[in-house]
Amino acid sequence: VYDHRGFMLHGWPRSFPGSDGEIRSLAAADLNGDGVMEILAQKTSDGPVTVVWLIDGTVVPGWPQVEDCEECNDYGGYNQNIGAADLDGDGHPEVVSTYDICHIGIFYGNGSPFPANEQFSGPWASSVPSFHDISLAIQGWGPDMNDRDEFTDSPPTFGDIDGDGLPEVVLYSDHERAGEYVNLGNCLWVFNPDMTRPAGFETPICSGPPLFTSYENNIVQVAPSPALGQLSGDDRPEIVVPSYDGLMRCYSPDGALLWSYTFDPSGNPFIGASGAAIADLNGDGSAEVIFVTYSTAEDISHLVVLSAQGTVLYEIPVAGRGDMSVPTVADVDGDGALEIVLSLKDTLGGGDGGVQIFDVSTAQPNCMPWPTGRGNYLRSGRGGN
């Protein structure tokens, strides 16, 4: 952890306690209400995989998890698989950790597990497997070849989907079947913190099969990271997700597909898409959807801006192999208008570096529901204004 001048803070660096695993997931949140952020991290491989540090580098008591929790399940995450939000309305965020298995973990700030609804056979949120058939999730197991999903690369995001005043957990999973490790695509899940499912999401909503599953020249398949923002003008957010089958989709908070945009028409060559940012770029009070594509091939990627209804507004060529990360929309030069910041896959010649900034003179910072990756600069999975 570094300060604003680039000097490392006392007590850092730190390794994951008792492990040589690789830390890929980071976020920050004030879990104990003292006004100071804690550092949340998740590692790959065997558990326990989730830890919380104080800003001085000491491990918060009760972590890492799941270390001493009977009937809790975990295994490492391989993307930004950690986040935090106040799911129960007590004023303190819970920690959500998503796994390379068919479970997710939800914990209080002190590391104790969040309870599952009493209808489930397991006592904790992380006891409940993600079978599509809710009856199998309730009984805690299912026969081979039943649809059930893993969350290997699935960042947890949060929004009040059902309008009850509390955020739900929104995930875009890897669709698989029990006893089989074949990726069938993505599925959109919405969970209450007790693992019940709100109306419209009783069964997850799934995409088509993936167009690309290899790891060619450090290019990987689409990272299934949802973005949430009010696109239809009401108080509940829509959900925008990039899918393994080459489509960017937008769903209503009731689970209806509102529109889709094809970013990869054939899979040959492969074209992927970052997660989306959501912000008003033209000053009309309606947010646009902003993302960037990337590819195994050179010079076929684009910065894409869609209207709230999914209409193409701009497709701006991006050099090299494009950009795998979510664009950031921010006023980086202090002129009162917003810019779009990209982190390119390749460093370009001719004085063009790996970071490119696009000026948007009509964009004001008054409507930015999802301005950057993970929704905010703490990377906690909750959106902005």
Verify that 202 and 256 share a domain, yes or no.
no
More confident residue, 233 or 122: 122
What's the pLDDT tens digit per position in 138-175? Answer: 999 999 999 999 999 999 999 999 999 999 999 999 99
Verify that 257 and 148 share a domain, yes or no.
no
Verify that 338 and 201 share a domain, yes or no.
no
Q: Is residue 236 part of a domain?
A: no
DSSP class of 120 = S
Q: What is the mean pLDDT of residues 184-196?
A: 98
How high is the pLDDT of residue 351?
61
How high is the pLDDT of residue 190?
99
Q: What is the mean pLDDT of residues 271-287?
A: 95
20: CB partners within 8 A, 6+ apart: none
Verify that 286 and 361 share a domain, yes or no.
yes
Hey, what amino acid is at 356? Q
pLDDT of residue 219 exceeding 90: no
Residue at token pair 């290019």: 219
As a whole number, the mean pLDDT across the chain is 95
Tell me if 114 sits within 8 A of 86, measured CB to CB. Answer: no
4: CB partners within 8 A, 6+ apart: none
What's the pLDDT tens digit per position in 324-345? Answer: 999 999 999 999 999 999 999 9
Verify that 158 and 31 share a domain, yes or no.
yes
352: CB partners within 8 A, 6+ apart: 319
Neighbouring C-beta atoms of residue 362, cutoff 10 Å: 11
DSSP letters along 8-36, please? BPTT---PPTT--PPEEEEEEE-SSSSSS
Verify that 188 and 337 share a domain, yes or no.
no
Looking at the chain, the whole-number percentage of residues with pLDDT higher than 90 is 86
How high is the pLDDT of residue 385?
65
Q: Is residue 72 part of a domain?
A: yes
CA 246 to chain centre: 18
Verify that 197 and 71 share a domain, yes or no.
yes
Between CA 36 and CA 281 the distance in angstroms is: 33
Q: Which of 145, 176, 206 is the last residue of a domain?
A: 206
Q: Which of 173, 206, 239 is the last residue of a domain?
A: 206
Between CA 194 and CA 118 the distance in angstroms is: 9
Verify that 58 and 187 share a domain, yes or no.
yes
284: CB partners within 8 A, 6+ apart: none
Three-state SS at 295: strand
Q: For the chain, what is the domain count?
A: 2
Residue at token pair 């393994």: 244
Q: Is residue 8 part of a domain?
A: yes
Between CA 185 and CA 100 the distance in angstroms is: 15
Tell me how far apart the terminal alpha carbons of the chain are, to the nearest angstrom: 27
Verify that 195 and 315 share a domain, yes or no.
no
pLDDT of residue 352 exceeding 70: no
Q: Is residue 85 part of a domain?
A: yes
Q: Which of 173, 189, 206 is the last residue of a domain?
A: 206
Question: No. of H helices and E strands in the chain?
Answer: 1, 23
Query: Measuring CA to CA, how many Å separate 89 from each of 86, 105, 376?
Result: 6, 18, 20
289: CB partners within 8 A, 6+ apart: 227, 231, 240, 248, 250, 276, 277, 278, 305, 306, 307, 308, 310
What's the pLDDT tens digit per position in 225-245? Answer: 999 999 998 889 999 999 999
* Full domain range(s) for residue 330: 251-385
Q: What is the mean pLDDT of residues 262-290?
A: 95
pLDDT of residue 178 exceeding 90: yes
Spell out the SS3 assignment of 302-367. Answer: EEEEECCCCCEEEEEEECCCECCCCCEEECCCCCCCEEEEEECCCCCCCCCCCEEEEEECCCCCCC
Alpha helices in the chain (DSSP H): 134-139
Q: Is residue 358 part of a domain?
A: yes
Verify that 61 and 141 share a domain, yes or no.
yes
pTM to 2 decimal places? 0.96
Q: Is residue 229 part of a domain?
A: no
How high is the pLDDT of residue 95?
98
pLDDT band, very low/low/confident/very high, at 216 (cuts 50, 70, 90): confident
Verify that 168 and 310 share a domain, yes or no.
no
Nearest Cα to Cα of residue 224 among 62, 356, 77, 59: 77
What's the pLDDT tens digit per position in 73-105? Answer: 999 999 999 999 999 999 999 999 999 999 999
Q: Is residue 90 part of a domain?
A: yes
164: CB partners within 8 A, 6+ apart: none
Verify that 201 and 322 share a domain, yes or no.
no
Q: Is residue 346 part of a domain?
A: yes
What's the pLDDT tens digit per position in 24-53? Answer: 999 999 999 999 999 999 999 888 999 999
Tell me if 267 sits within 8 A of 273, measured CB to CB. Answer: no
How high is the pLDDT of residue 350?
63
